[in-house]
Amino acid sequence: MRVRCLEIIHPDGDVPVAEYGGIRVGGVYAVLEMVTYDIDCYIRVLGPDSPDPGLLWDPAGFETVDTRIPPGWTLAIAGGRTRLADARWQRPGFWTDYDQGDPRALADYDHVKRALLAAAPPHEN
C-alpha cells in the first residue's frame, strides 16, 4: 500500500508545512501499518529521511496511490485498538519491545520494513 502526502499540519502550531519528519508534501510513501484507537485512525509512514520506525500520521493528509495490501499483513482487534500490519508486528508488546531494543523486535521490524520498501517503487517528490 502506498500513499501520497497531500498536506502536513505541524503538530506544534496547527499550520501547514511542506515537510516534517522526513515526509514531504507530494511525496509517495509505503504504509508500514494502519492503527485505530477508538475513533482515531493513523497510518505509519517512513520517508527516506524519517527516523525509524517512522511516524504515525492522520490519513486525512494522504491519498492512496496503490491499494494493494502487502502479503503477510493481518488484522488484529484488541483493547480498543485495531491494527492492520504484518503478522510479526501483531504480537502483544511488539512496539514496547522495539522501543526497549529487544533484538527479536528489532529484527522483525527491520525484516518487515525492508520487504515493504523493496516492494514499493522509489519515493516520488
Within a domain: residue 125? Answer: no
Per-residue model confidence (pLDDT) at position 82:
94
Per-residue model confidence (pLDDT) at position 49:
85
pLDDT in tens, the chain (125 residues): 999 999 999 888 788 999 999 999 999 999 999 999 988 999 999 888 889 998 999 999 999 999 999 999 999 998 889 999 999 999 999 999 999 999 999 999 999 999 988 876 554 44
The count of domains in the chain is 1
* Sign, Cα dihedral of 106, 123, 16, 33: negative
Per-residue model confidence (pLDDT) at position 125:
45
Distance CA 59, CA 124 (A): 18
Q: Are 88 and 107 in contact (CB under 8 A)?
A: no
Within a domain: residue 99? Answer: yes
Within a domain: residue 124? Answer: no
